[in-house]
Structure 1
């Protein structure tokens, strides 16, 4: 596939996807959504890749939102199809990836951009980042999972405040309410994100995959049973045997 709007860089066990539409502040159009989705499929099948980072090109914007001109004349049927397909193709795929996906939020993360970051398992942000869901100013609501993921991250009351007011919040406030994990100067953001990714990549990929599944079920009545099942399954797998052997032998495990 010819990638026009994204860049891929591999560093050891890490892979960095950069959304590269600086002329539109990296806004998400259908083509870009499909490119990211295809890259994720490739990286999921790549055993050398342990952790994926998603960021935006430049220092102004992670993703400034969806490309509004692309759907401005849609009716109900096409709009529902857009939301459903985009969630299935990209946003739900990220959340359910068997490999950790970290958002390095460099600048604006608005609308679909914030929804993309929220679908990731972890979020680091730059000090100049601004985050928000401005859809109600267009007479719309978030359509890429924003009304569902934001309350789980920050609570229903704060989620309602951000969605109803459409206000942007700075990175430090986003950290205070649990929307992002850490905040760094823009020049340090990717370095710090890669440091975390490298730390994660040292651990058992099978255990992390099961942990992702269990955590994703944590707000359902299936969460505890999933944890028990996955905990048991891992006892039959090579990663557990290597991890326990390394501990007993006082060495680092080789996963």
Structure 2
């Protein structure tokens, strides 16, 4: 890019104006090129140079002004903007800092390989916010609060004891809330819809006073190999990743700041209370694993209080083979399984079977498939004891301090979104997609 890189001052809006002018000129250069799939090598190299220059400018801008930007967007942290609202407000009020709605809409529905990678710029912004103790802490608290959708559906669940969402079923049975994954067409793999539905179900279960324990389990699936069998989860939906339907804000970062963190740390219901025990609602969670827990499915198990698996089940984190980062598995698995086994699983793709000795680091109990329901009922009875919620709250604070969580997520935000646009990942998901098309 020939234009001189902007020189930012300590004045927020002067620096923002300089960034907007620089990025606006860069966007003009990109717009003059053919669409990404139609570019020749020289044109694509030019586009990459332009994006690199703009990202360097954004990083320098945020290095000076992250807290000021966040305070401006949230009225000095008096407004609670959830992640989607925050990035949209940043795009609207600081042009060039984040992709505009027009830019994102123009790429909606396109394969991942055909996109410019505007979500990488969202990752840079979110990483900077999370790197800040003040701004990052405020965002984490905001994302621990119930969603508006959850609050709107709470009364219906209280009245009926059932909440049917597109990909999740929530049922009250006695003192337990049973959440069943119902993405049957894709082995209960995670997609944007499932992530949103899971957060709603977890919120409602935590808000309903009748619920003492939560249970996660996969429903039956349609895949010919496993038809009518329960499957816990196949992890991220790689077909959706190939097709550009896995979002950074709603999925890659949103699941970590949203429902998974709520499972771990509880639901923030009173952000103004001084004591964490008064601010949050905590309940213990059980995972019942049928068939397998792959990728994001295994990541879920790392925050649950009791994991029960059928004897033929297995666990794996194939993120290294897929080319991406397994969420917070890199942070949490070493705490449970130790560094050496974690490297074998994460870097080497080792699969752990429920009957392996090492399975004790991932699950608490292994039973025959026919005995799984009874084992879950016993676990519910044990974890419904009054002191369990208080003690698991203290365990969560000791095992994963908020600052450690925040610092990990700051780096994860940048690394994970970049990996989803890297050539090796795009090539792998394309090969898998082509193979699935050939099979019909």
Distance 1:142 1:60 in 2: 23
The one of 377, 394, 398 aligned to 1:218: 398
Distance 2:312 2:394 in 1: 33
The equivalent residue for 1:138 is 322
Deviation at 1:124, TM superposition (A): 0.8
Do residues 25 (structure 1) and 195 (structure 2) align? no
Q: Describe how 1:81-92 pairs up with structure 2 within 5 A.
A: 82-92=251-261
The equivalent residue for 1:250 is none
Distance 1:220 1:95 in 2: 9
SS in 2 for 1:26: coil
The one of 364, 367, 386 aligned to 1:184: 367
Query: Aligned-pair RMSD on alpha carbons?
Result: 2.3
The equivalent residue for 2:208 is 46
Deviation at 1:175, TM superposition (A): 5.5
Q: Larger radius of gyration, structure 1 or 2?
A: 2
Do residues 200 (structure 1) and 380 (structure 2) align? no
Distance 1:53 1:219 in 2: 22
Distance 1:66 1:12, change over 3 A: same
Distance 1:80 1:159 in 2: 27
Distance 1:40 1:196 in 2: 19
Distance 1:131 1:176, change over 3 A: closer
Distance 2:331 2:401 in 1: 17
Deviation at 1:73, TM superposition (A): 5.9
Q: Describe how 1:28-177 pairs up with structure 2 within 5 A.
A: 28-58=190-220, 59-72=229-242, 79=248, 82-97=251-266, 98-143=282-327, 145-173=328-356, 176-177=359-360
Aligned partners of 1:62 and 1:109 also within 8 Å:
yes
The equivalent residue for 1:234 is none
Distance 1:84 1:220 in 2: 18
Distance 1:147 1:56 in 2: 24
Distance 1:151 1:80 in 2: 26
Which TM-score applies when normalising by structure 1? 0.78
Show structure 1 runs of 5+ residues with no match: 223-255
Which TM-score applies when normalising by structure 2? 0.46
* Bigger fraction of residues in strand: 1
SS in 1 for 2:216: strand
The one of 141, 158, 167 aligned to 1:5: 167
Deviation at 1:79, TM superposition (A): 4.2
Aligned residue-pair number: 217
Distance 1:66 1:90 in 2: 15
Deviation at 1:199, TM superposition (A): 2.4
- For each residue in 1:54-85, what CA deviation from the matched residue of structure 2 results, as whole angstroms up to 9, or x when unmatched? 000133520011112223366xxx64774221
Distance 2:171 2:250 in 1: 32
Distance 1:181 1:37 in 2: 25
Distance 1:55 1:221, change over 3 A: closer
Aligned partners of 1:175 and 1:181 also within 8 Å:
no
Flag the structure with more relative contact order, 1 or 2, with Cα contacts below 8 A and sequence separation at least 6.
1
Distance 1:199 1:209, change over 3 A: closer
Show structure 2 runs of 5+ residues with no match: 1-152, 154-163, 221-228, 267-281, 403-440
Distance 2:199 2:297 in 1: 15
